[in-house]
Structures are given as structure tokens and as C-alpha cells.
Amino acid sequence: MASQYQQYSTVRKYWQLMRPHTLTAAIVPVLVGTATAKIFLLGSEDHIKISLLLAMLLACLLIQAATNMFNEYYDFKKGLDDHTSVGIGGAIVRNGMSPKLVMNLAIAFYIIAALLGIYLAVQSSFWILPIGLVCMAIGYLYTGGPMPISWTPFGELFSGVFMGGIIILLAFFIQTGNLQTLVVWISVPIIITIGLINMANNIRDRVKDKESGRLTLPIVLGKANSIRFLALMYIVAYAFVVYITFFIPGGSIFFLLALLSFPLPVKAVRRFKKNDTPATMMPAMAATGKTNTFFGVLYALGIYISALLGGI
């Protein structure tokens, strides 16, 4: 029994190290990009290539998990993580994992993701390789390097654009071999909801981050204005869906399925307003992650249904 518990504990440590609550931010863009590709493939001899979809999903999950591990490693090295830290991070300080092991595992994940990228390039276009390498570099430079992105007010922008927008475009491109204006429009709400996951984390950690010398967006804006900005950007994201539905060629009424997730960001904003300590703000932060998940899955489903019923 003790051995089984020890094995479970070890597996749980590794699972938490990948910060599973963030992994849907890697899954949602691939689903949205692939669903949009279905619109343009309908009626042609081509169809969604499941092998490319799965390879893209796995590569994005590995890059996201590795980015979280780089975050873990550098937060430990810079003294940002300690036994008082809240959240799922802190595998090194709380779970006794070796910093070297964490870094080596992140590098291994990057190598596997790169190999998957080569496979995707062979099957589609070698132009995706430099783009993929830039995305991987951003994942590392978010917390690594001489000037980590996470220490600046631009963390939300970089995470939204590269985790959301670029991945959607790549997922679309490997299926269709081209890019279309519609997929660019469709990517905007996902760019916003993924960026706001990052902002929620920074709102929660703003006091400790400021003491450590960081200058994140919530530190620049202050808590009250950060919450207002969070609320405003959620409104923009949902308004964008409505705009695309009715005013962009290729839009469909089924895109509005994403609006069913609207109660979640309302919860997030209310919880942030109500609470002010890192521990009590955890439910608010979790609500932003759930918003991206449910918004993204419903959005992808609506896009896919619209493809099946008509396409372009």
C-alpha cells in the first residue's frame, strides 16, 4: 500500500509540474484553427487530416508544459517561489524536485515538440518551422533569458498572440495549405481569453511580483484598473464573436454558442473584486482558465457545426 501511495505521489508531482490547468490554453487554439479549416475544406476532395491534428495537439501540449517547467525553474532560481507561494507551481520548493531534472525534462519536451514540428513541416510546408521555432523561443524567453517577458507589462500580449493567434493560424495552415481572412478574425477572441489567463495570474501575484522587481501589467495599472481592464477585454472578446457572426463573410449564427460561457468571466471579475490575497483570489484565477476552456470549446464546436451545414 505504501509503495502504491508513493507511486501515486510521484505521478502527481510530475502532473502538477506541467500545471494541467493551463494545458487547455494549448488545446483550444488547435481545435479552433482546425474547425475553421473544415469550413474551407468542405465540398473539396480534401478533408481534416487527423494525423496532423494529433501531432499539432501533442506538440502544443509539450511546448506549453515545457514553458511551465521553464517558469518553475527560473522562478526558483530567482527566489520567487517559496513554501508560502500559492497555486500549483512550486514543485521544486514544495515537492523536492531537482531543478536540474525540471530543466532537463523541459528540454526533452522541446526536442519531442521539434521532431513533431519537422513531421508537420514535411506533411505541409517547411515555412512552419521558423514560425514554430519562434513560438518555442518565446516559451523559453517568457521566464528565461536576460530580460524575461514575464517581468514586463507585455506578458499578456505575448501569451495571447503566440499561444492563441499563431497556433490557430498554424493549425489552419497545416490542414488547408493557405491562410484566409476569416481565420484571422476568428483568432482574435481566443488571443484575448488566453492573454487574460496570464493577467489573472499577474493580478493574484502582483504584490510579491512587485517586491521581486517585476513590472507586470497589473503592477502598472493597479488592482482596480486591472480588474476593469479584465472585464473590458472579456466584453471585447464576446463582442468580437457577435461581430464576426453577422458582419464577416463566412460567419455563422452557430459561432454564438461561445456566448453560453459568459457567466464564467462574470464570476472571475466578481471574485477578483471581492478578494485581495493570493489564496482567496485563486477561485477568480481558476474562473479565467475555465472561461478560456468553455469559451474555446463552444466556439470551436459552433465553427465546426457551421462547416458541416454549409461551409464556404
Name the most confidently modeled range: 20-29, 81-90, 127-136. 127-136
> Residue 56 domain-assigned?
yes
State pLDDT tens for residues 147-192: 899 999 999 999 999 999 999 999 999 999 999 999 999 999 999 9
> Residue 13 domain-assigned?
no
Range of 290's domain?
30-309
259: Cβ contacts below 8 Å, ≥ 6 apart: 238, 241, 242
Domain count, the chain: 1
> Residue 141 domain-assigned?
yes
C-alpha 295/C-alpha 131 separation (Å) is: 26
State the pLDDT confidence band at 208, using cuts at 50, 70 and 90. confident
> Residue 238 domain-assigned?
yes
279 or 240: which leads in pLDDT: 240
C-alpha 46/C-alpha 26 separation (Å) is: 25
Give the amino acid at 253. I
> Residue 17 domain-assigned?
no
Mean pLDDT of 49-59: 96
Four-residue CA torsion sign, 33, 37, 38, 39: positive
Residue 94: pLDDT over 70: no
The four Cα atoms 160, 163, 166, 171 give a dihedral, to 10 degrees, of -140
> Residue 45 domain-assigned?
yes
Q: Which of 285, 296, 15 is nearest to 168 (CA)?
A: 296
C-alpha 254/C-alpha 278 separation (Å) is: 38
6 or 20: which leads in pLDDT: 20
> Residue 22 domain-assigned?
no
Residue 113: pLDDT over 60: yes
Contact 223, 247 (CB under 8 A): no
Mean pLDDT of 241-246: 97
A 10 A CB-CB count for 286 gives 17
> Residue 16 domain-assigned?
no
Residue 224: pLDDT over 80: yes
Q: Which of 215, 152, 169, 189 is nearest to 297 (CA)?
A: 189
pLDDT (0 to 100) of residue 98: 80
226: Cβ contacts below 8 Å, ≥ 6 apart: 199, 202, 203, 206, 217, 218
